[in-house]
């Protein structure tokens, strides 16, 4: 588990990596979880939360509703009393446990998606009722917590990012941290919209961009990639 701190005392802990990263954002007595990983990681995720002394979660924020992000939402809501936050475009998917569609951004991932669709056209996970719906922006203000959520669509229509203390952005699958020198994800429904979302994220003062897959991206790399891809897509 790796932890980052901000100047105002927020702690961002990557409590799970592997299939998908799960982040815990804490400040004083407020606990916020971002994403849940997939079913196979449920036990270890619960164990790590308990090990950190977390018995209650104030919020669970879903960056989007793919199975490797939302599969344990219902269980975490029940066990830790988390209020669930999801973007409006994908609230219905979460409530019915439907995996929102994926599309490859290159030849290989496009064929992979077609193959997966043939093998299992109906991918589902336990449905989870939601509590709060985000449109373009939501400011989460409670006790000493002041963070905001931004709609950053492209990977999926309801993808969103969490801006912690205007320093660290948790970006879900809007970016990847797997390929050296690149943040471009292998899957996105709307690439143009996703590049625009990078621009939106660069308007914050964040200098670290933490994706759900792979390691953290620094601002310089995101700027470089944004410049390159916004030119190509003109
Ligand atoms: Zn995804």
Q: Which domain holds residue 17?
A: 2-232
Give the Å distance between the CA of 153 and the centre of ligand 1. Answer: 11
The alpha carbon of 93 is separated from its chain's Cα centroid by a whole number of angstroms, namely 15
CB 181 within 8 A of CB 205: no
pLDDT in tens, 188-225: 989 999 999 999 999 999 999 999 999 999 999 999 99
CB 213 within 8 A of CB 20: yes
Taking 70 as the threshold, does the pLDDT of residue 121 lie above it?
Answer: no
What CATH number is given to the structural domain containing 14? 3.60.15.10
Give the Å distance between the CA of 172 and the centre of ligand 1. Answer: 7
CB 97 within 8 A of CB 124: yes
Give the Å distance between the CA of 206 and the centre of ligand 1. Answer: 22
User: CA–CA separation, 26 vs 94, rounded Å?
Assistant: 25
pLDDT in tens, 169-179: 999 999 999 88
Give the Å distance between the CA of 155 and the centre of ligand 1. Answer: 7
Q: Which residues surround ligand 1, an ion (CB under 5 A)?
A: 66, 173
pLDDT in tens, 15-37: 999 789 999 999 988 999 999 99
Taking 80 as the threshold, does the pLDDT of residue 120 lie above it?
Answer: no
Place of tokens 């007595």: 29
The number of distinct structural domains making up the chain is 1
pLDDT of amino acid 125: 93
Radius of gyration of the chain (CA): 17
Give the Å distance between the CA of 68 and the centre of ligand 1. Answer: 7
Q: What DSSP line would sit under the chain, residue for residue?
A: -EEEE-TTS-EEEEEE-SSS-EEEEEETTEEEEE----GGGHHHHHHHHHHTT----SEEE-S---HHHHTTHHHHHHHH-PEEEEEHHHHHHHHHTBPPP--BSSHHHHHHHHHHHHH-S--B------SEEESSEEEEEETTEEEEEEE--SSSTT-EEEEETTTEEEEETSS-BSSTT----SB-S-HHHHHHHHHHHHTS---EEEESSBSPEEHHHHHHHHHHHHHHT-
User: CA–CA separation, 55 vs 232, rounded Å?
Assistant: 48
Give the Å distance between the CA of 234 and the centre of ligand 1. Answer: 25
Give the Å distance between the CA of 141 and the centre of ligand 1. Answer: 27
User: CA–CA separation, 88 vs 156, rounded Å?
Assistant: 12
Q: Tell me the whole-structure pTM to 2 decimals.
A: 0.92
């Amino acid at each position: 588990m790796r932890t980052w701190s901000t100047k105002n005392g927020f702690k961002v802990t990557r409590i799970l990596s592997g299939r998908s990263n799960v982040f815990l954002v804490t400040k004083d007595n407020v606990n916020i979880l971002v994403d849940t990983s997939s079913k196979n990681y449920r036990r270890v995720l619960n164990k790590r939360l308990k090990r950190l002394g977390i018995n209650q979660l104030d919020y669970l924020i879903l960056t989007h509703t793919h199975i490797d992000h939302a599969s344990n939402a219902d269980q975490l809501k029940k066990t830790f009393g988390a209020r669930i936050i999801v973007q409006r475009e994908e609230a219905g998917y979460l409530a019915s446990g439907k995996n929102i569609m994926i599309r490859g951004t290159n030849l290989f991932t496009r064929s992979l998606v077609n193959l997966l669709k043939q093998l299992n056209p109906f991918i589902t996970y336990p449905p989870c009722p939601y509590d709060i719906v985000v449109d373009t922006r939501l400011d989460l203000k409670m006790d000493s917590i002041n963070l905001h959520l931004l709609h950053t669509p492209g990977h999926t229509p309801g993808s969103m990012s969490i801006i912690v203390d205007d320093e660290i952005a948790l970006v879900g699958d809007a970016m990847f941290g797997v390929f050296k020198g690149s943040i471009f994800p292998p899957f996105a429904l709307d690439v143009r919209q996703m590049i625009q979302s990078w621009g939106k994220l660069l308007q914050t003062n964040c200098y670290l961009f933490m994706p759900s897959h792979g390691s953290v991206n620094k601002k310089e790399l995101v700027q470089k990639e944004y410049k390159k891809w916004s030119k190509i897509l003109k």
